[in-house]
Amino acid sequence: MAAIPKAIGYYLANVPLMLVNPIGTINKGVAEQKVKAMRPIELMAFAIPAYLAAMVAGNVAAFVASAIAGAIAVGAFLVSSAISAAIGVVAGIVYGLIMHPLTKFVVEKIGKGETDEKSRSNYAVMSLVAFILLQGASALTVLFAGVVARLVASVGRGFLILNVLPVVVQSLAGLILIYIMFAWAKYWRCANWVIIVCKILFVLSILGGLANVGNAVWGTIRAFRGGASVTVPDVDLPTKPDGDDKGDKGDDKGDPPKGDDKGDKGDKGDPPKGDDKGDKGDPPKGDVKGDKSDHPKGDVKAEKGDDHPKGDEVKAAGDGGGGEYASYKRKRTEIERRLTENPLLIKAKDRSELSAIGKAYLELVMAEKAARRDARADLAEKKKGKPDFSSLPDQAIVEKYVEGVLFQKTRKDVESLYNKLPKE
C-alpha cells in the first residue's frame, strides 16, 4: 500500500484539471497514458482513497449542514463515518480485483474492441477521478443546503442562487463519466454501435443536466419570491410600550400568566371568571387602545395554585384559537426532540445527501429565521428605508409578535415535517 500516497497526489493534481478542462484532460490522458500498467494490488491503492473520500465526504457534509441547522451529534457522525470508511475500503479492494477482468470482458467480448493492461489502468484511474467529482458534487449539495440556509437567514435571500452551483457540478461530472467512456471506446476500436450508444448517452446527459440546472434556477426563483412576503398577525401593536409589564419572578418571560389577572388595587372580591370586561358599557369594537378603563395598572400576578386561566381561551390573532397555536408549539418542540435524539433521521440511508426529513427541516429553519428577521423589521422604525433595530419596543412585545409571525408563516411547514417523522 505504499502507492496510496502516490494515488492521493495524483488525485490532488488531476481532479482540479478534470473540473476546469475536462475534454482536454481526457483526450490528453487517452493519447499519452502516463499511468503505467497496474496489477490488482496497485489498482486497490488508487481505488481505496477515491472510495474512502467519496464515502466520508457525504457524512462530513451532512454533519456540517446539521451543525449549521443547530443539530449537532458528534457520536452519530463518528459512527456513521467509521462505517462509511469501512465500506469505502472494501469497495476499493473489490474495484482493484475486478476492474481488469470485467473491463476486458465488456470491451473485447461485448464491444468487440481491443485492450491491454496499460490502457485499462489509465481508464481506471481516469474514471476514479470522475467518480470523485460526482460524489463531491453530491456532498456539496448537502453542505450548501445548510450554508445557504444560514446565509439567507442572516444576510439576505440573494444567496439562494448558490443552490444552483452543486447542481451544475453534478451535471458536469455525469457528462465527464460518459465522455470518458466515449473516448476510450474510440481508442479501443469498439464496434460502431458502442460509439453510437455513447453519443446518445452523452446527448441525454446534456439534456438531463440542463433540465436539472433549470429546475434548480426555477426553484431558487420560487424560493426567493415565496420568502419575500411574510404573513403577520392581524393585530395592532404600539411602536413604544406604555409601561413595563411585570410578571411573577418565577415565570418565564414568554409564558402566559398561570393565575388570574388582577387589576387595580381597588378591585376587590373574586377575580373575573369569564372574559375580562372593561366599563359597564359595551366593549370596544375596534382596536384596543390604551384607555385607563381598558387595562389594569397593577402588576399581573399569578396564583400558585392555578395552572390555567379560568376565563375563555385567549385566541391568537389570525388563527382559529389558542388550541391551534398550542398544537403548533407542541409539534415544533417534538420535532426538535426527535431530531436531537436521532440526528440520522436527516440523512439519506444509502446516499450522501439529506433525507426528505432533513430537507424539510432545513427549509423550516430557513423560513423561521427569515420570519424572525422580517418580524423584527416590522416593529423597528425605518431610517433611510432600513429598519433601525435599536428602536424596537419592549422585548416582551417583540417576542410575542415574532411568535405570532412564526405561527402564521411556518405552521404548515411544521405540520408537514411532523407528519414525516416515523412513529415511535
Please list the pLDDT of the chain residue by residue as tens digits (424 residues).
567 888 888 888 888 898 889 999 999 999 999 889 999 999 999 999 999 888 888 888 888 877 776 667 777 788 888 898 899 899 999 999 999 999 999 999 999 999 999 999 999 999 999 888 888 888 887 787 777 777 776 676 677 777 788 788 888 888 898 999 999 999 999 999 999 999 999 899 899 889 988 888 887 787 666 543 333 333 333 444 444 444 444 444 444 444 444 444 444 444 444 444 444 444 444 443 444 444 444 443 434 444 444 444 434 444 444 588 899 999 999 898 888 888 888 887 777 778 889 888 888 888 888 888 888 888 888 877 788 777 787 888 888 888 899 998 898 989 989 998 988 7
Nearest CA-CA partner of 354 in 248, 254, 363? 363
CB atoms within 10 A of CB 281: 8
Opening angle at CA 212, ends 133 and 224, nearest 5: 110
Check: CB of residue 49 under 8 Å from CB of residue 6. no
pLDDT for residue 70:
67
- What is the reported pLDDT for 341? 82
Q: How far apart are CA 327 and CA 411, in angstroms?
A: 10
pLDDT of residue 226: 55
Q: Residues 6 or more apart from 61 whose CB is under 8 A from it?
A: 139, 140, 142, 143, 352
- What confidence score (pLDDT) does residue 300 get? 39
- The pLDDT of residue 133 is 87
pTM above 0.75, yes or no: no
Q: What is the pLDDT of residue 224?
A: 67
Nearest-5° Cα angle at 38, 33 to 41: 150
User: What pLDDT is stored for residue 90 in this prediction?
Assistant: 93
Please state, in angstroms and rounded to a whole number, the distance separating the CA atoms of residues 376 and 371: 9
Q: What is the pLDDT of residue 308?
A: 42
Q: Which residue intervals of 33-156 are DSSP H helices?
A: 40-69, 74-104, 117-154
Could you give the dihedral angle defined by the CA atoms of residues 172, 174, 177 and 182, in that order, rounded to the nearest 10 degrees? Answer: -90
Report which residue type is found at 250: G
